[in-house]
Amino acid sequence: MRYTLALIVGVGLILALAGCGGEKKGRMAARSDIQEAAQKTYVAPGDLDDFYVFKSGGHSGQVYIYGIPSMRHIATIPVFTPYPATGYGFDKESKDMLGGYSWGDAHHPSLSETDGDYDGRWLFISDNANNRMARIDLRDFKTKEIFGPIPNVSGNHCSSFVTENTEYVLAGSRFSIPLPRGTYEKIEDYATKFKGVVAGIAVDQKSGKMSVGWEILMPPFNYDLGDAGKGPSAEWGFWTCYNSERATGKLEVTASQKDRDYVVAANWRAAEKAIKDGKFKMIGGVKVIDPKDVPGVVYLLPAAKSPHGVDVSPDGKYIIASGKLQSITTVFNIEKIKTAIEKKDFTGNEDGIPVLNYDAVKDAEVNVGLGPLHTQFDDKGYAYTSLYVESAIAKWKLGTWEVVDKIQVSYNIGHLAAAEGDTKHPAGQYLVALNKLSHGRHLSVGPSQPESSQLIDIGGEKMSLLYDAFTEPEPHYAQIIKADKLHPIEVYSKEENKHPKAIWDLKDAKIVRNGKNVEVYMIAVRSSFEPWKIEVNKGDRVTIYLTNIEQTTDELHGFGLNDYNINVVADPGETKTIEFVADKQGVYPFYCTNFCSALHQEMQGYLLVRP
């Protein structure tokens, strides 16, 4: 932030005046607090934010980008859902990637890491609905790959979490089913014939391309959230699960009978080795390890019942599980886990998976408050746990386990995200509370309310609320990265455009007919299309290769075709493929949908479909 003193004073004055307005503005205790919050979040026009926050868009299927500290919504990245604003899901390339699905449930975004720190290469995000994983390239902020449906993974909720060097993105089953997908079994046989899976999706370090690395067959529990280890726990993946009762029906009752559920601890190095040694069976076309036959790959840690988040501390030493139906978070110690495994200090097993002795592996039970869900970290050795039932955040000290501060949020908090909070080196400073139920915090927009995100200052001893921002439903998690770690491009250079049908010269613009197939090599440049007239016969199969030959920042062109449900956008230097059958006869105008110049309105042409 580079605002001037005059601006700070100005904002302070404005807010002081606004504060005279009445009681309803007085939600934040004192006027001085309001002024301070305003100064801390005000990013003057033309100035830039210090952090990017990437928020999952839940069943909107998208990712939302906000700046911190301004909390301004900067952009939307469409991932699992078509998005006409950027033409996503209308051109052949992105349509193919969506694979026939028109939505996804975007859950947990995960920034790629090198040596346990965000490296600014990619953002992964899981689809809880259709069992997929997407990769966004942070060079151009676009979805480049949608991997899946991942075989055997059913309800990819406990995902995506990257290992320390992005070797794997962790995934798993929220809803156990008979495997492979497509198998029918009676629901009465749930406890024995249904199976869960935890998995490591391997990431090619050069291209980012994903493939199934390994899968582990698990009991029919509901795998909920996860985290990858770091430092001393770097070879481990952790997941919480509920429903260790293996129940069906009304899970709110049937799946909370036992006092304890589990945290899964899987050693991915051991899983890698098992695959290499041929100790797997093929299920659904991929290599699956059955822990019954391959000991040493996976263990269960008893945890407070119905846990949600499991989070690894920045030093990799502590694994913190939040039991949402109890008032404690449990802190496990990786050294104690390793020792218990070595000594075979087990208290039972589930389908061949050893259950570690709770008292031998836990370091502490921290009484954080009601409904703990998820924990984040700062740069000073503190942990921050969201409390769903209390609508609050508890700040507590790692090692002494002392709760030192609490702050109320509006209203029910699910996840929270601290600046660089999942890395070995959290930035401290800011934390975003991702809350449900925002009623009364904004102008009413009818029954369908947005979700509320609150920016909290965690730089001082006491947490303080800085800002309310709102977003489309429904953020499940977010990650915050320092702005200077990202260096996005603003145009695609001509050299990097590898589209085989790209053209760069107006004289190459042409229409080629081959029987019923019509290929159009089209250029979009301020402020016209070339060719601007496409004449075809009814029933022809039309393919347009649209190249935006601009090499200037911000010069996007769209291609909207009236009555044909097509809107494609080509960024500067980009080529998009548009395919359709000219099944309606008549004359159909097409036009540029992106405001591009004073003559944007003139950028148009005609599709003429002869009977």
Residues that bind ligand CUA (CB under 6 A): 527, 557, 592, 594-596, 600, 603
As measured in angstroms, the least distance from the Cβ of 173 to ligand CUA is 46
Closest to ligand CUA by CB, 211 vs 553, is 553
As measured in angstroms, the least distance from the Cβ of 579 to ligand CUA is 21
Q: How far is Cα 490 from Cα 472, in angstroms, rounded to an integer? A: 26
Closest to ligand CUA by CB, 391 vs 594, is 594
228, 170 contact by CB (below 8 A) = yes
Q: Give kind and range of the element (H or E) at residue 9.
A: helix 5-19
Q: Which of these, 328, 420, 414, lies nearest to 378 by C-alpha position? A: 420
- Contacts with 494 (C-beta within 8 Å, 6 or more apart), sequence order: 504, 549, 551, 573
Give the DSSP letter string of 563-607.
TTTEEEEE-TT-EEEEEEE--S-EEEEEE--S--STTGGG-EEEE
Q: How far does CA 179 lie from the centroid of its chain? A: 27
As measured in angstroms, the least distance from the Cβ of 490 to ligand CUA is 17
Classify residue 83 by its DSSP letter: B
278, 268 contact by CB (below 8 A) = no
Q: How far is Cα 339 from Cα 357, in angstroms, rounded to an integer? A: 11
Closest to ligand CUA by CB, 181 vs 526, is 526
Question: What are residue 569's DSSP bridge partners?
Answer: 558
- Torsions phi, psi for 239 (to 5 deg): -140, 145
Closest to ligand CUA by CB, 248 vs 604, is 604
As measured in angstroms, the least distance from the Cβ of 499 to ligand CUA is 19
As measured in angstroms, the least distance from the Cβ of 571 to ligand CUA is 12
As measured in angstroms, the least distance from the Cβ of 530 to ligand CUA is 12
Closest to ligand CUA by CB, 471 vs 594, is 594
As measured in angstroms, the least distance from the Cβ of 83 to ligand CUA is 18
Give the DSSP letter string of 449-462.
--EEEEEEE-SSSS
As measured in angstroms, the least distance from the Cβ of 595 to ligand CUA is 6
Closest to ligand CUA by CB, 90 vs 122, is 90
Closest to ligand CUA by CB, 334 vs 556, is 556
CA angle 479/425/204 to nearest 5° reads 65
Closest to ligand CUA by CB, 356 vs 546, is 546
As measured in angstroms, the least distance from the Cβ of 208 to ligand CUA is 31
Q: Which two tokens stand for residue 147?
A: 């991997």
Preceding amide of 597 cis, omega within 30: no
- Contacts with 136 (C-beta within 8 Å, 6 or more apart), sequence order: 63, 77, 79, 122, 123, 124, 125, 142, 143, 144
Closest to ligand CUA by CB, 64 vs 545, is 545
Coil, strand, or helix at residue 537?
strand
Q: Which of these, 360, 363, 367, lies nearest to 403 by C-alpha position? A: 367
Instruction: Encode burial over 483-519: b for 16+ CB neighbours within 10 A, e otherwise.
Output: eebeeeeebbeeeeeeeeebbeeeeebebeeeeeebb
As measured in angstroms, the least distance from the Cβ of 592 to ligand CUA is 3
Euclidean distance between the first and the last CA atom of the chain, given in angstroms as a whole number: 61
As measured in angstroms, the least distance from the Cβ of 577 to ligand CUA is 18
Closest to ligand CUA by CB, 339 vs 527, is 527
Closest to ligand CUA by CB, 532 vs 595, is 595
